[in-house]
Structure 1
Amino acid sequence: MIVVVDGIRYHLEVSGEGFPLVLLHGFTGDSSTWRPFFDKWGSHSRLIVPDIIGHGNTESPEGLKHYQIESMAKSLNNILDKIGVHQVDLLGYSMGGRLALTFALLFPNRVRKLILESSSPGLKTESERELRRMNDAKLAKFIVDKGLKSFVDYWEGISLFQTMRRLPAAVQGKIREQRLMNSSQGLANSLLGMGTGSQPSWWEELVQVSCDVLLLTGGLDLKFCQIAKAMSAKLKKAKWIVVENSGHAIHVEVPEKFGTIVSDFLSNQ
């Protein structure tokens, strides 16, 4: 399905029946990230699965304004309006989790339950954000100058994803193939517009989130376990689950366990 918002063509997949569940992929991903869960989750939820701007089959415009995380959250709000959906459950992974949290803060009445996988509310201090913006700008330039293949080679090797090297070669190959389908300009602009250094810090706003929240982190992802621990102390109605023997990408590393945890949380009224 194609939905046009502010002149940008957004691609989304819709599958299943039940209360709407919006699924937001991470940086370098696309809607196919969630396809292995369509049968399981589609039995209880109507799945709404967009390609975030700059990714997959959604357009990758040159200007940065549409990539800013608050702008993308407003675009998602308009997408839901256009397809006639009011309230949703919302699941986001990493970058998609930061977008999901942003959406929940800007449009609280539209979110029934929020699931954040390996996500953060941003960086706490301006000095941290400035340093991240500088690093993301260098990385964006690297993507444009060296090309998508060189960037994916680099991205697959960062420490955040070291546990994914345990996956079967066929699974790693499929992830790589999907990453290489993205647009160099789209990924570069996503870093510049929606990177952790470019978004607002939502740490102080966490107390405003009134819906039920599930925080999921991999037990081997120590950085995001620390972040989730701090988040759970600020959120009013948070449940935090550490998934053992998993790193950052829980949905890829232990998909069956991940799928069951999500289904159980959504069905627990």
Structure 2
Amino acid sequence: MTADLRLHLHRQGDGPAVLWIHGYTMDSTTWQPLWDRLPGFTHIGVDLPGHGSSAPLTPGLTLPALAGRLAEVVKETGARSVVALSFGSMSALQLAIQEPGLLDRLVLAAPTLAGTPNEDSARVRYQQLAMLHRFAGPGEQLADLWMQSPPDIFTGTERHPELRAALRAVIARHSWAELGNRAMDALTAHRHTADDLRRITARTLVLLGDEDMPAFVRNAGLLRDTVPDCRLETLPETGHLPLLERPDVCAPLLAAHLAGAPSQ
């Protein structure tokens, strides 16, 4: 069966087009605070399959197939830059590897590489979510469990109560259907190798919170050392979601990178 890859796009602004790819259980509405701080661009937020207003995530969808669909979006919109967060960065990486000629600029925050070891606490939490979904279905109880620590995905939002409340509202709307049909299995079965990363030609900026989990610190270092044109910025007093936790700090870094300013 062919996967349904109808993707909802949320647009704002005028100028060079930038494609934004959100994190797991989120959607493109989470980018609003950053978009408001980045005039002069056409911001295009894509809801990933099974998220927001896009078609459901269907079993059997692979990461290369999703990247191929995102490549179509890039071509349709004229976006030459991509900004991605956490789970979304896995798709952005595959897009940059698979279609290196499509992108000039790439921003990866809390970078996720396919096939690299994740935090054990994240694996345990996902198993707990699946069990709760089986007995209680979707809803606020899943959002509350997902946002608990460990893993420390949302720990940094405790400094920002308004952000935390806004994220909880988005996550509470998530269908969680992938917990029941195991649709994530094929998507996460891919593996990014060092040779893959060397194929990336886009000028790359990696953003990392200094309080992020060890797996993502390792990923950031690997990208810095392997992607041909890559710079790593570490943000102080920041957790796993730097773009959302620190929009005031991230906005000027993004503006300079997306506009093609020289590296410092």
Shorter-chain TM band: 0.7 to 0.9
Q: How far is the alpha carbon of 1:268 from its aligned partner?
A: 2.9
Classify 1:45/1:155 alpha carbon distance in 2 versus 1 (closer, same or farther; 3 Å). same
In 1, Cα distance between the equivalents of 2:71 and 2:240?
Answer: 27
Matches within 5 A, 1:3-152: 7-41=4-38, 43-61=39-57, 63-66=58-61, 68-81=62-75, 84-124=76-116, 138=127, 141-142=130-131, 144-145=133-134, 146-148=136-138, 149-152=140-143
Q: Say whether 1:255 aligns with 2:250.
A: no
Distance of 1:266 and 1:226 partners within structure 2: 25
Does 1:165 find its partner at 2:158?
A: yes
Match of residue 233, structure 1, among 222, 225, 235: 225
Distance in 1 separating the partners of 2:5 and 2:220? 34
8 Å contact 2:8–2:53 — kept in the other structure? yes
Shift of 1:7: 4.4
| Structure (1 or 2) with the greater strand fraction | 1
CA distance in 1, matches of 2:129, 2:145: 12
**How far does residue 214 in structure 1 lie from its aligned partner after superposition?**
0.2
Match of 1:36, SS?
helix
SS where residue 22 of structure 1 aligns? Answer: strand
Aligned in 2, Cα 1:233/1:133: closer, same or farther, shift over 3 Å?
A: same
TM-score when normalising by structure 2: 0.85
Residues 137 and 191 in structure 1, CA contact (< 8 A), matched pair in contact too: no
* Structure with a larger share of its residues in helix: 1
Contact 1:54 1:187 (8 Å CA) reproduced: no
Change (3 A) 1:78 1:46: same
SS at match of 1:10: coil
Aligned to 2:208: 217
Distance in 1 (CA, whole Å) between partners of 2:68 and 2:122 is: 22
CA contact (8 A) 2:157 2:163 kept: no
User: Structure 1 pair 132/75, CA: closer, same or farther in 2 (3 Å)?
Assistant: farther
- Compared with structure 1, are the counterparts of its residues 143 and 75 closer, same or farther at alpha carbon in structure 2 (3 Å cutoff)? farther
Please list the CA deviations of residues 48-97 of structure 1 after superposition, one character each: whole Å capped at 9, or x if unmatched.
Answer: 11110000111215x3123x22221111122334xx33451011100111
Q: 1:150 to 1:254 in 2, by over 3 A?
A: same
- Please say if residues 10 and 46 of structure 2, whose CA atoms lie closer than 8 Å, have aligned partners that are also in contact: yes
The structure whose RCO (Cα within 8 Å, separation 6+) is larger is 2
Q: String of CA shifts for 1:170-204, please: whole Å, max 9, x gaps.
A: 33222111101111214665643434xx2322333
Determine if contact 2:163/2:245 at 8 Å carries over to the other structure. no
User: Identity percentage over the alignment?
Assistant: 20
Which of 145, 155, 166 is the aligned partner of 1:154? Answer: 145
Q: What amino acid maps onto 1:216 in structure 2?
A: L
Letter of the 2:52 counterpart: G
CA distance in structure 2 between the aligned counterparts of 1:10 and 1:217, rounded to whole angstroms: 28
CA contact (8 A) 2:130 2:179 kept: no
Counterpart of 2:191 (choices 176, 185, 200) is 200
